[in-house]
Structure 1
Amino acid sequence: MTDAAFLLPLSAMLPVVAMSIAFAGGARVAERLTLLTPPIGLVIALMISAALLRGGEPLTYMLGGWTPPLGLALRMDGLSAALLLTTTVIIGATAIFARAEFGTAPGEAETRRKLMFWCLLLSIWTAMACVLLSNDLFNLFVGLELLTFAAVPLAALDGKAETLSAALRYLMFALLGSVLYLLGVALLYGSHGTLDIGLLSTGLQGGAPTLLAVALITVGLIAKSALFPLHLWLPPAHAGAPAAASAVLSALVVKASFYLLARLWLQVMPPESAWAALQLLAGLGAGAILLGSLVALRQSRLKLLIAYSTIAQIGYLYFMFPLVLAGGSGAWLGGVLQAVSHAFAKASMFLAAGVISKALGHDRIADLGGVARAMPVPVIAFGLAGLSLMGIPPSGGFTAKWLLLQSALQTGQWWWAVVMLAGGLLTGGYVFRVLVAAMRSGATPVPVPRLGVQEKVVLALALVSLGMGLLPLYSFGLVQVGQP
């Protein structure tokens, strides 16, 4: 434990304390706390990142001074620090955006719906922090369950029949993933007597029980992350939620399972046991890219299009696995950049869709005519975020996909490069379809709102995703700390 290690439990305690006070204090107190705590959390996350860069190795904190396997360890490396920074910024930006819908004005009566939104938003932050800090497979299970039971009611917050049905489907897939994950954890504990990732990484042996356990854990996490073919729950759940909820669900929640899969397969499993499995994971990612993009092209509603785009963009993350294992020099950085740039781009797109649908009263793509002239900022933000998803320079998505493509060619796995190029073309198809519809002249006059806080948040998130591609690669040294 280093001098900066005390920051690790502090980064998880902050949203927990805020959530507890918010739940007891009511909607108005919850709103204020959700707006005030992300800047503090960002400072803590930046201090953790600075300590990682200064020390060049992961930070570890032993709870109660007890070392594993008797005690529990918190651990933060470059990947988890990057995702913690992303989580804190997006939670803060979403909170600012959501005030227009979930804020409680002076003299206005508090409602349960508004209280629950702010508490659930803090719960998402808490659960993500727990996942990113845990170094024990059972504690990771607890973090994933906290995330599920915060995300499902957030998706059902509107209370409509179709929204509740979508949330129930989400819950069923999540519970299926939980059962499979827990079975795998039980098998691993029976075989090795520990669930600490650090100890497993040095003592894990191949063999039928271990492979079965890891296979169960992997399928469970695939179900939770909506990777093809276990993706059926995601589009209706994300498209039916309020815009602020959709942004958090798409940008952050699906990344938790990916993070755990990266740790499991790249930091724990022996390389000789991983090659075939990681090729299969990348194959599922390729299926997600092609299927998700093709279905997105056929959507008539904007939020459903963005939801299917999430399925497609998740697929790129899984190319990282076989490329890192084969020694691709930029594969690790490319995968992490894809996760982070996608988070900002997708949050911007969902929030932009929320602004547009609120002004029009619908999100039908065919009836978006006149929106670009009346509401240029959300349309521009949507286009900039789309550039990142397509992988067009100078966006962060371009840097991520370029590194993955280079690694695919470098390691002789050219077939993944073909899928990436095809995915970029398909992404361009559905992004330009929306932009063309928005720039057409509309028969129905579109209300012209003033440039408000919501539009500024939407544009800022898109610019972050775009600006990541302008940074030199050496500035991402944080991501290399703890790289497998």
Structure 2
Amino acid sequence: MDPTPGGVLLILAMVVPVTGMLVAFAMGGRAAERIALGVVPVGIGIALLLAAGVLRAKAPIVAWVGNWAPPLGLALRVDGINAAMLLTTALILGGVALHARADYATAPGAAEARAPLAFWVFFLALWTALGMAFLGSDLFNLFVALEMLTFGALALACLDGRATQFKAELRYLLFALIGSVLYLLGCGLLYGDYGTLDVVLLARAARPDAATIMAAALMSVGLLAKMALFPLHLWLPPAHAGAPPAASAVLSGLVVKASYFLLLRLWFTVLPGALAAAVAPVFATLGAAAILFGSLVALRQARLKLLVAYSTVAQIGYLFLMFPLVAGATDGLGSAAWLGGALQAICHAFAKAAMFLAAGVIAGVLGHDRIADLGGSARATPLSVWAFGLAGLSLMGIPPSGGFSAKWLLLIAAIETGQWWWALVIVGGGLLTGGYVFRVLSASMADSAAPPVAAAKPVQERVALGLAIVSVLLGLMPLGAFGLVRIGLLP
């Protein structure tokens, strides 16, 4: 695919945060905060321009790095669904930056500390890696983006420096490295078979031979390990349990989505449709197991952050229900299932980020996150409890939230394609989600004799509430507005 007007924006989407990262590292912690906060509006503006450009042209925007065409050079490509995820990424990272400023700011006259510098530098590194993951059009360079994401997320999660957190993150690292090896082996097989790893060129040449099937299997297992789909979820709850709220919000809301969208691109863009149809029930079965297992375990958790972490395990499962629904639809990628899956990913990102940020505020005010002792938190930090509740409504699929629209589209697709059993999973998962959300809200509204140990920081509460409101308002947008996510998809 030849370069198109607006390709410079693809370059800027990565150059701006990586330049900010390098300058922040060179100038130190006090300047790093200001640089990161300055990158936020620029990044949001670039994401908006890219989404508007794709919507206006009704076609992807493409750029060749160094003006070298694939397979000799690298192409950057943004279609509708990637443009939507870039905008989602920019908005959530902007909210996380405002939330984290209260914890990682360097006061005038105070000595600089390592934690603020590390946070803002790795925050910008994550932004760069997410941009690479959503704009890349070469499977090996997408691997590089995923590795940057892994190590950036590890650094943010270990920022407090506690030994128990290092142990949890080492488990995350182990799963991520195993996933990387498997993914890289798959890339090697594809390159040996076709002589290229460019997504567009592979889509034209891929055939269902033994090497392609083996490569797809290796890459898929590697990506599933990175995004913690059941039963490869063992690293995710411990990694969240002690991580700073800002790190958990980014990890749950955005980092796992990069692997998911690469998996979508692999199966619905690169590989022949017959292979996608064959493997789709396997993915959906794992997704259904994740929904039921994650929700049931979340109901039994004693700590709030662990409850939200197991909720992430469950909600990831919904993303995989779209595989057989898209494969079974007569209009394929134009189906309600594709739209519902894309909307589920976006709403989940906002809702989970809001939940983790709200849980962090509640834990900071009370001095703990024991669910049984959350009494009084609704009075001490009302906006955070509201944020948790609104995000929970979206995850449950209660109208008029974005989660409802996404699950309704998946339900329609399940019925239209005659796959009613996935509809039962969607409804059952929503009921289980309501159970653990209600458990937290009821505990928060109970009376308590124990006074709060700290005051809530208003900006942190407002950010969490704002992200939760977005997850609800997405359900009020006309579905025609989400036609963006169908633009530029390769057959």
The interval holding the TM-score normalised by the smaller chain is over 0.9
Aligned pair partner of 1:67 in 56, 66, 69:
69
Q: Which amino acid aligns with 1:72?
A: L
In 2, Cα distance between equivalents of 1:364 and 1:273:
46
Do structure 1's residue 407 and structure 2's residue 407 form an aligned pair? no
Deviation at 1:448, TM superposition (A): 7.8
Find the counterpart in structure 2 of residue 6 from structure 1. Answer: 8
Distance 1:450 1:420, change over 3 A: closer
Q: Give me the TM-score of the superposition, normalised by structure 2.
A: 0.97
Q: Which amino acid aligns with 1:112?
A: R
In 1, Cα distance between equivalents of 2:367 and 2:207:
57
Query: Runs of 5+ in structure 2 lacking a partner?
Result: none
- After TM superposition, the structure 1 = structure 2 runs for residues 43-62 of structure 1, keeping only pairs within 5 Å, are 43-62=45-64
In 2, Cα distance between equivalents of 1:255 and 1:37:
22
Do structure 1's residue 348 and structure 2's residue 354 form an aligned pair? yes
- The sequence identity of aligned pairs, in percent, is 62
Deviation at 1:148, TM superposition (A): 0.7
Do structure 1's residue 417 and structure 2's residue 419 form an aligned pair? no
In 2, Cα distance between equivalents of 1:71 and 1:288:
39
Deviation at 1:38, TM superposition (A): 1.2
In 2, Cα distance between equivalents of 1:475 and 1:404:
18
Find the counterpart in structure 2 of residue 210 from structure 1. Answer: 212
Q: Which amino acid aligns with 2:125?
A: S
Find the counterpart in structure 2 of residue 429 from structure 1. Answer: 435
Q: Give me the TM-score of the superposition, normalised by structure 1.
A: 0.98
Q: Which amino acid aligns with 1:348?
A: A
Find the counterpart in structure 1 of residue 463 from structure 2. Answer: 457
SS in structure 2 of the partner of residue 241 of structure 1: coil
Q: Which amino acid aligns with 2:265?
A: R
Is this contact kept in 2: 1:266–1:321, CA < 8 A? Answer: no
Aligned pair partner of 2:473 in 463, 467, 477:
467
Find the counterpart in structure 2 of residue 438 from structure 1. Answer: 444
Deviation at 1:139, TM superposition (A): 0.5
Find the counterpart in structure 1 of residue 325 from structure 2. Answer: 323
In 2, Cα distance between equivalents of 1:210 and 1:165:
37
* Pairwise CA RMSD: 1.1
Is this contact kept in 2: 1:187–1:209, CA < 8 A? Answer: yes
Aligned pair partner of 1:222 in 224, 239, 254:
224
Is this contact kept in 1: 2:92–2:353, CA < 8 A? Answer: yes
Q: Which amino acid aligns with 1:105?
A: A
Aligned pair partner of 1:22 in 21, 24, 32:
24
Find the counterpart in structure 2 of residue 278 from structure 1. Answer: 280
Deviations 1:129-157 (A, max 9, x none): 01111100000011011111101111111
Aligned pair partner of 2:146 in 144, 147, 155:
144
Q: Which amino acid aligns with 2:151?
A: F
Do structure 1's residue 292 and structure 2's residue 294 form an aligned pair? yes
Do structure 1's residue 379 and structure 2's residue 379 form an aligned pair? no
Aligned pair partner of 1:479 in 470, 476, 485:
485
Do structure 1's residue 78 and structure 2's residue 46 form an aligned pair? no
Q: Which amino acid aligns with 2:88?
A: T
Q: Which amino acid aligns with 2:232?
A: L
Query: Runs of 5+ in structure 1 lacking a partner?
Result: none
Find the counterpart in structure 2 of residue 174 from structure 1. Answer: 176
Find the counterpart in structure 1 of residue 40 from structure 2. Answer: 38
Is this contact kept in 2: 1:52–1:77, CA < 8 A? Answer: yes
Deviation at 1:271, TM superposition (A): 1.2
Aligned length: 484
Aligned pair partner of 2:309 in 276, 300, 307:
307
Deviation at 1:372, TM superposition (A): 0.9
Find the counterpart in structure 2 of residue 242 from structure 1. Answer: 244
Deviation at 1:449, TM superposition (A): 3.5
In 1, Cα distance between equivalents of 2:31 and 2:324:
47
SS in structure 1 of the partner of residue 109 of structure 2: coil
Is this contact kept in 2: 1:374–1:447, CA < 8 A? Answer: no
Is this contact kept in 2: 1:374–1:448, CA < 8 A? Answer: no
Aligned pair partner of 1:106 in 96, 100, 108:
108
Deviation at 1:443, TM superposition (A): 2.1
SS in structure 1 of the partner of residue 159 of structure 2: coil
Is this contact kept in 1: 2:342–2:485, CA < 8 A? Answer: yes
In 2, Cα distance between equivalents of 1:450 and 1:277:
48
SS in structure 1 of the partner of residue 77 of structure 2: strand
In 2, Cα distance between equivalents of 1:447 and 1:396:
35
Q: Which moved more, 1:136-145 or 1:65-74?
A: 65-74
Deviation at 1:477, TM superposition (A): 2.1
In 2, Cα distance between equivalents of 1:309 and 1:215:
27
Find the counterpart in structure 2 of residue 339 from structure 1. Answer: 345
Q: Which amino acid aligns with 1:429?
A: G
Is this contact kept in 1: 2:291–2:317, CA < 8 A? Answer: yes
Deviations 1:19-61 (A, max 9, x none): 0001111111111111111111111111111110111011111
Q: Which amino acid aligns with 2:255?
A: V
In 2, Cα distance between equivalents of 1:410 and 1:449:
51
